[in-house]
Every structure is written in structure tokens, then in C-alpha cells.
Structure 1
Amino acid sequence: MTTTTTKEAPSPPLVHSVFRLGFRFVAHLFFREIQTTGTHLVPVSDPCIFIVGPHANQFVDGLCYISRNPRHSYALMASVSYDRPLIGHIGKILSAIPVVRPQDIVHLGQGSLVYNPNKEPLVLHGHGTRFTEQLGPRDFIIFGRNYKGHVSRIVSDTVLEITHAIPHAEAGTYSFKIAPHVDQTAVYEEVHAYLNNHECITVFPEGGSHDRPEMLPLKAGFAVMALGALAENPTLPLKIVPVGMNYFHPDRFRSRAVVSFGQPMTIEPEEVEKFKRGGKERREAVTRLLDRSDEAFRTVTTNAPDFDTLLIIHAARRLYQNRKLSIQQTVKLNCHFVSGWTKLKEDPKLENLARKVKLYNETLAFFGIRDHQVQRLDITPVRASMLLIKRLCTLALLGGLGAPAFISNLPLIWAIDYISKKKQREALAGSMVKIAGKDVLATWKIIVAGIAAPMLYGLYALIYLRHLVKRRPDLSTIHKLIRACMAWAVQPILYYVLLRLGDTGLDIYKSIKPLFLAVRNPDVGKLLKTMRKDLSKDVTAFVHEHSTIFLPDEPALKHDDTSIPSTSSSSSTSSSASSNSKNIFRFSKLLETASP
């Protein structure tokens, strides 16, 4: 088998380019803003495996990723999705590669099993089981709190052995499910054929979509594909490219997103040689590549252990900023802050800082405003009153323009809300990793809107046609039909214009609360502004003290304000702590009398 590193990547089929434009248009409608970073890092012609995550927005992830990727690629797609009516047809047109996932063919096992990790960590005993009939080597057995054992040997109908002890498992008797081993040889061969032709493959290595704040453990499939391809063709210039999908409220209409392409990874020859030797060394090679990929993902994603920590980290990042950053810089700073926060989580100073940031978040929540609105509180009551009146009038005007469109679209809004929430409940019931099932909401909002909107606008066009038939007998039939068709075609354009006006109205609405607060209770505004200023000094001082962790090789994101005190200065620290203590005391007093 021969190949050359100078071979150019084939041009994508025309139908793929058309779909890419369509995906870009749909993404532009759903999201208010989508930014892309790191596209210059994507190899121009080398074969690539794009590993995309976190998979937090089901099929919308693929839509955004495909529309922003400078390279054409063939995606691996779960067979259950490949067989669906609409999504599956799109997958077939785009030449997606169907993959049978073990979790899609899981079935309930007969009887119950007993596991004692202390006495027999590699043995499972059954009661009323038929292991010899229902299980085989390399199958997975799932029980308890999603404990998963990899079957190595079936001893009898009531005894089996697993390859590894199950970490954190508790002794007890459990019902169980069986995930049969799936032979993916045909999939690997198809992937290798594409890569040898200098084409690209896309994999979502978490195995399925979810709404957790942290990424799920990476599945080994893409690592086996990469190592297998190089084992067959050692001269193949294969690269693995991490792609981060970063959303600001992924399930919300008109939210924002950033698609971040990371530094391409080269598979080391030592890993390929270990993979060739098989057995334990093969597993070590796959594990090492998975660990490297996990580290690469951390450079393009924000990965926090829970939502509370993520909220605190995002607040700390905002408090650190000394100027308005682009959305790309914001995502990069988020990644650095999450990484730094994780590494220093045992530091007492960080724990104290986290408590202060959490109190600040709770304070803002009490008054119903956001951090970026605090700066607007530095305004006199008179000026705030004038600005409030002006913006209320503007909001009323925009509301008047948008009200007819909103009313006419109420059936569509109801259908989108009802069906998407129904699908959310179904997804949550069928998953062991989802928290609330929010990862499916955006997908079903887009699908329902894409089907129901033309039907609703067609209904309005028919009503208009009926009006013309009754009220305009002077018009010929062809003119009536033309006018009805024009009414159907104009509605989406009109609603899009009103949609963009709605974005402006939403921005104005968000500014009402801080202005109202500045008019009603100026003291609260001064207190919040002082709290933010003091807390920003504390956050900035801590970040600069650990700048090699929080801001590695990122001078563009570092403050140039030399007046910010350092945590190494005891007088500065004590002064800041004293100031914060006074602010917290004043805030607790205000809470007794103030209301948002």
C-alpha cells in the first residue's frame, strides 16, 4: 500500500457543499452569533480525524461544526439516528458512516447478580441467571449506579469473570443489563479507506449527546481507528484535530456559540508499534492516545465538575476582565480559568475567593441584574430616569411592531415548545448520563420550526386567497394565486426582519432593571459597584500570582494595570478583606429593607 504526503484532498461533492450552505443558514437563524477560532490550524490536505466535543446539543452540534469546518469530512453516525426518517436521510445524503453502539442494543438480563468488590473484585455471581446463553466474552454487563463490567470469561450459568475491578462499586445484589460486543471491523475498514484517500472523518468521541457540565470519558473508537490506519499505512500523514463546541445557553433561541479548532495532534511511532504488538501493549497505546486527546480537548473546551463551580468560574473570569473581549477571547479565557481553577482547587486562598464570588452572584440574583449591568449603576438618578423613559418608549415601539408577528406565530411557538419538551422527557427517560435532557431541545426546536413554519405560513396564504376570492372578483384566478404565493413567500422574510429587531429589543429590555434600580435605590448601585471593584482586585491579584497556570502564553489576555494590588502584599490583602467585610455587612443590612 503506498501513499504520498503531497497528495491533495479530494474536492467535496456538490450536494455536500449545498448542505453546508443550508446548515450555515439554519445556524444563522437559530443563533444570534457563531464565531470560529483556530481554522488556520486545520491541515489543508492531510487526512484528519476531527474529534468534536462536548456533545451538548445533539444534531445541532453537527450542524454548527459542518457549517464552520474548512475541510469536508465524513461523520460517524449512530445507527439509531441513521435509520430515522429525516435525520437519517440527511446522513445518507452526506455519506455518513453508520455505527451500531452497544448502548443502543442493551437488553435486560435474566435473574440477578451479586458483586463483592472486596472479596472477589473480578467475579460476578448470579441467581437465576443464564450467563452461558445470554453473555459472551467482550460483552459488557451493566448494573447498579451505571457500574460497567467487561466480561472476560463465562465460567457457568451463575459465575462469570470480568477483566477489571469496577471502581467505586458497592457490594450488593443487583438486576443487570447486557450490552453485547459489536464487531466494528467493517466500520474501521471504511474509515481507513477514507483516510488513505486523504479525506477526513468526524467523530463525537463521548458516544452520545448529554447536558452535563463536564465531558464524558472519551470512547476508544477514534484512537483505534487512528492507530489502525497508521499500522496499515505508516507513511500516512494522519492528524487528530480536537474541536470544542462552546455554547452560551445551547438550548435557547438566539443564543451564542463558538466553534474552536485546536492544535492538530500527530500519532507517535512508538504508539503505533505498541498497537501492532497487540495485547496489553495495544491497550496501553490506545489509553495513551486517549489521555493525550483528553488534554487537547481542555485547550478548546470549558470542563467543570458541576454547574455551581462553572458559574463561579465564569463570574471570576468576568471580574478579571479589564476590557471588552471578543467572543473568541472569552472562550479562551474560560478554558484557562477552568484549567487553573481545577489545578488550584485545594488552595485556601482560592476557596476563600470562591466564597466571595458566590456571595456576589447571590447578591446580583437578589436584585435581578447581571454582572455586566453593574457598571450601568454608576449614574445619577436624574440621568437614569431620563434614560429609562427613553428606553421604555423605544421598547414600546418595538413591541408594537413585533406584536402582530408574535401573535400570528403563537401556534408555531406552542408547537415548538410542546414537542421539544416532550422529546426532552423521552430522551431523559432513556439515558443514564443526562441531567435534564436539555441537549435535545435545540435540535427539536429547529426540526419542528422547519416543518411547521412553512405549513403555518401556507395556511395564512390560503386564508388570504379565500379573502381574494370573496372580496376581489375583478382579479383573475392566476393573479389571485400569484398574490397568495407572494404572501406565503414574504412572511418568512418579514419575520426575519422582525427577529433582528427583536434582538435589539431584548438588549434594551436587559438594560431596564439596572436603570430602575439606579432610580429607586442609588445606595444599592454604589454598594454593588464597590463590591465588584474590590472583588475584581482580589480575583486579578490571585490570577496574576498564578499567571503561569491561568494565563499560559496569553499576554494579550493579561491586565496591563500595574495599580492592581498583589496578593503577596499583606497590607493590600488585609485592606481588601476589610473592605469586602464592610460591603458584606452593609449588604446584609440592605437586604432587610431593599427589594429588587
Structure 2
Amino acid sequence: MVIQAARRLYNTKGKNLPLPMVVELNRRLVKGYAHFKDDSRIVELRKSIVGYNKQLRLLGIRDHQVTYAKFSILQVVATLIYRLGKLVLLAIGTLPGFLLFTPVFIATKYLSAKKSKEALAASTVKLQGRDVMATWKLLIALAFAPALYAFYTASLTYWTYWNRVNGLVPDWVPLWSVVMIGMVLFPTITFAALRIGEVGMDIIKSLRPLVLSLNPSSANTLVRLRERRAALAHQVTEAINTMGPELFPDFDAARVVTDPFREASNTDTKAENDLPEIRRTSVSDHTEKMPSSEPLPRNESFHNLANIGFFSTRPPSRDRSRSRSASTRSGSRHGLKPLSALTQKDPLEDVSSRIRDAMRERGERRRRRSEDGSWDMASSGAGTPSSTEESRKDL
């Protein structure tokens, strides 16, 4: 409670902080309080915040409602009348949904209280059993609410079938459309009652500070409480601005939390200042160290890295091999020695010609082998007499 009150008092500009910034601010306040909790300034500040919260609790108001003390009597009366009228209208709008959902309220309250007592009796660590109560309320509502809506829809359908809702529903309206209307109408009424009830509860909570502002005995108390809040906010801000830089190096007193974009821009500027000076080199700088005054050819530069086969798994094409051989020959004029000497004949053409010669020789050997086999079969067939001829010779 002390940390949350300090966070509200530190944000004195009335800005609506986003949730990540609120979480970061709470984390830093907790860390700072744990580090400086024995400091005399923090001890006195903690006593003042606890007393302020106690006075708010006695009056039954919240911290943001203390600002009502600066309203005039006419403003307080006008605001009170407006909110009372709005509350009456909201109560009328909430009544149908409240009546429809009353069985669910009764069932969830009775059964969840019973289950909570059983859980408290069976456990040694639970104090109030509110988690069990909330769980059973949710489970009962999830099971009972659809059944209740189905009962209301069936009742409306039967009423329409019996006498057309006392003659209010025309005869041309089919019963299946009544079922569809009931399935949409009853959940919508209860949901609207829920939303209207939330707004109504906020209005009810805001009525007490207005009534206290009209009471002469308590109006003076609210004025003094508002002055005390302003002084307490000044103390909290001074304490955080004084002790914050000792614990957080990136503390910025001009902001609630350090601006990440501002920090990033400072980091970029610092990085730019730390970079060494880069001097552009021209072709003339290279020619001073090379025997030739001609610049490097385009095929020896690394301007286009996409054409370099870093992960090539197939032999280069004919055009690429020619370009490489040409680049090697052109680079030799500038003192670049080739890795190996190449023959005048293209290696790919030499390999292809050898493959063709080998295939030709293989085909000729296969053809000769097939011709020799046919002649052997013919000679063996003519020189070996058959069994019928041998029998004729014996005769």
C-alpha cells in the first residue's frame, strides 16, 4: 500500500501512464524502498503516507477523489443531482437483466459459500478460501446460465404458441424465429445489465465525496486533506529525485521513467563519435604500390558478390571458365600470378572429345563382340550333326 500510494503521489502531473511504465515504476520504487528503508527520511515519509491512507479510509474515499474539495458549492450540487438522475436511469435499465439472472446469483452464492467452508475445514493453509469461492462461482455460472437461457427461450416459445404472447406477436411470425430471438435476446439483456451495473457502481462510489463536500463539518476536512496530499506529493518527489540517481544510473528527474527513444538517440550519438575516421581510397592509392598504373579490371573487383560461387557443387559453365581465364590473363599484367598454367585448348572441349572417343571405341568393341558371337554360333551349328542325321547314317 505504501509503494502504490507513493507511485500515485509521485505522478503529480495527472498523466495516464501505460501499464508497462506503471510496472517499471513500481519495480523501481520497491527496489529503492528495500535499499533505503532504514534511512530517516524514508521512515518519516512512510509514517506520513500511512497516516494519509488511514484518513482516506476513515472518510471512505479514494485518493483521486480528494480533488473534489476544490469544487464550489454550486458545482458540487449540480454534479450530485446529475449523477443521482443518471443512477436512477441506469437502475431502470439494469432491472430486467437483474431479475433474469437472479437465480444464478442465488445459486452461485449459496453453493460457493458451502464449498468454501468445506475447503477451509479440509485445509491447514487457507485463511478465507476466496479462491475456492471464485472458482465455484465461475463453474456454477458456466453450467447454470445456459440452462436458464434455454428455459427462458422454451417458455417464450410456448407462450407464443399458446396465445401469441397475449396477442402481441402477429400470426405470421413462425415459432422457429421466436426461438432464435430468445437465444439472442436473453443473453443480451443480462450482458447489458452487467455493463450498466458496473457504471452504476462507479457512480455510487463517487457520491460520498460529493456529500462530504456539502457537509460543513467534513468540507473543511477535505480541504485540509487536499493540502496535505499536495505537501506529501512534494515530499515524495523530492525524496525520489534525491535518492534515485544513487541507485539508478539512468535516472531522469524530468521524466517518471527514462525515455527509451531518448536513451537510444544518445547511444547512437555516442557510437558515432567513437567511430574512427574512414577515408575513401581511390584507384590512384592502389597504383602507387603496384607496378602498373592501370586500374583493376571489373572482373577482379568484388562489386557483385552474387555471381561468386561460394557454395557451388557443379562445374562452372563454359562462359564462367572463359571469364575466369580471361581475368587471370588480364590480372597477370598487373603482377597477379596465376595459380596454375592452363593449356591453349579448352579443358571442357578436351574432356568432351575424350568422352566421345571412348564412347565410339566402346560401341565398336561391342559391335565386334556381337559379330564374333554370331559367327561362332553359325560355325558350331553347321559342324555338329543332329541326332536324326546320325541315325540315318547308321542305317
What range is the shorter-chain TM-score in?
A: 0.5 to 0.7
C-alpha distance 527-406 of structure 1, shift in aligned 2 (>3 A): same
The alpha carbon displacement at 1:342 in A equals 2.5
Selected match of 2:197 from 492, 495, 502: 502
- Deviation string for 1:175-232 (max 9, x for gaps)? xxxxxxxxxxxxxxxxxxxxxxxxxxxxxxxxxxxxxxxxxxxxxxxxxxxxxxxxxx
Number of residue pairs matched?
250
Which runs of structure 2 are paired with 1:70-219 in the superposition (5 Å)?
A: none
Which blocks of at least 5 consecutive residues in structure 2 are unaligned?
A: 260-395
What TM-score do you get using the length of structure 1 for normalisation? 0.39
- Letter paired with 2:224: L
% identical aligned pairs:
33
The one-letter code sitting in structure 2 at the alignment partner of 1:483 is V
Q: In the TM superposition, what is the alpha-carbon distance from 1:398 to its structure 2 partner? A: 0.8
Tell me which residue corresponds to 2:3: 313
Q: CA deviation at 1:494?
A: 2.9
For residues 57-456 of structure 1, what are the structure 2 equivalents within 5 Å? 311-322=1-12, 323=14, 324-456=16-148
Relative distance call for 1:441 and 1:456 in structure 2 (3 A) is same
Q: 1:490 to 1:550 in 2, by over 3 A?
A: farther
User: Per the alignment, do residues 447 and 530 of structure 1 end up closer, same or farther by CA in structure 2, a change over 3 Å counting?
Assistant: same
C-alpha distance in structure 2 between counterparts of 1:428 and 1:340, whole Å? 38
Alpha-carbon distance change, 340 to 526 in structure 1, aligned in 2, over 3 angstroms: same
Question: For residue 245 of structure 1, what is the aligned residue in structure 2?
Answer: none
Aligned-pair distance for 1:371? 0.5
Cα distance in structure 2, aligned partners of 1:363 and 1:408: 41
Could you give the per-residue CA deviations for residues 410-431 of structure 1, whole angstroms, max 9, x where no partner exists? 1111222233333333444444
| Contact persistence 2:104–2:144 (CA under 8 A) | yes
Supply the distance in 2 between the matched residues of 1:382 and 1:326 (Cα, whole angstroms): 35
Given the alignment of the two structures, is residue 486 of structure 1 paired with residue 159 of structure 2, yes or no?
Answer: no
Q: Offset of 1:327 from its aligned partner? A: 3.2
CA contact (8 A) 2:149 2:186 kept: yes
- State the alpha-carbon separation in 2 of the partners of residues 518 and 447 from structure 1: 43
Question: What does residue 294 of structure 2 align with?
Answer: none
In structure 1, how many angstroms separate the alpha carbons of the residues matched to 2:142 and 2:251? Answer: 42
Relative to 1, partners in 2 of residues 1:464 and 1:348: Cα closer, same or farther, differing over 3 Å?
Answer: same
Preserved CA contact (<8 Å) 1:340 1:549? no
Contact between 1:382 and 1:519, CA under 8 Å: does it hold in 2?
A: no
Q: Distance in 2 between matches of 1:401 and 1:394?
A: 11
Larger Rg: 2
| Cα gap change, 1:526 to 1:464, in 2 (>3 Å) | same
Distance of 2:126 and 2:6 partners within structure 1: 27
Shift of 1:487: 0.9
Taking structure 1 as reference, are residues 495 and 346 closer, same or farther at Cα in structure 2, changes over 3 Å only? Answer: same
Does residue 213 of structure 2 align to residue 518 of structure 1? yes
1:557 is the counterpart of 2:256: yes
Greater CA drift, 353-362 or 444-453: 444-453
Higher percent of residues as strand: 1
- Greater relative contact order (Cα < 8 A, sep 6+): 2
Pairing 1:535–2:227 present? no
Using the alignment, how far apart are the partners of 1:355 and 1:451 within structure 2? Answer: 49
**After superposition, what is the alpha-carbon deviation per residue over 1:63-118, rounded to whole angstroms, capped at 9, x for unaligned?**
xxxxxxxxxxxxxxxxxxxxxxxxxxxxxxxxxxxxxxxxxxxxxxxxxxxxxxxx
Question: In 2 relative to 1, CA 500–432 (structure 1 residues): closer, same or farther, beyond 3 Å?
Answer: same
Q: CA separation of 1:554/1:503 partners in 2, compared to 1, >3 Å: closer, same or farther?
A: farther
CA contact (8 A) 1:551 1:557 kept: no
Q: What SS is found at the alignment partner of 2:174?
A: helix
The Cα of 1:397 is off from its aligned counterpart by 0.8
The match for 2:321 is: none
- RMSD across aligned C-alpha pairs, in angstroms? 2.9
Question: Following TM superposition, by how much is the alpha carbon of 1:559 offset from its aligned partner in structure 2, in angstroms?
Answer: 10
Contact 1:312–1:357 (Cα < 8 Å) also in 2 = yes
Deviation track 1:301-357 (CA, whole Å, cap 9, x = no partner) reads xxxxxxxxxx22222221111233223322332222223223333223222222211
Query: Partners of 1:419 and 1:550 in 2: how far apart?
Result: 51
Q: CA deviation at 1:475?
A: 7.4
Q: Counterparts of 1:553 and 1:445 in 2: how far apart (Å)? A: 47
Q: Is the 8 A contact 1:551 1:558 kept in 2?
A: no
One-letter code of the match for 1:507? Answer: D
Distance 1:435 1:342 in 2: 28
Shift of 1:486: 2.2
TM-score, with structure 2 as normaliser: 0.57
Distance 2:249 2:139 in 1: 42
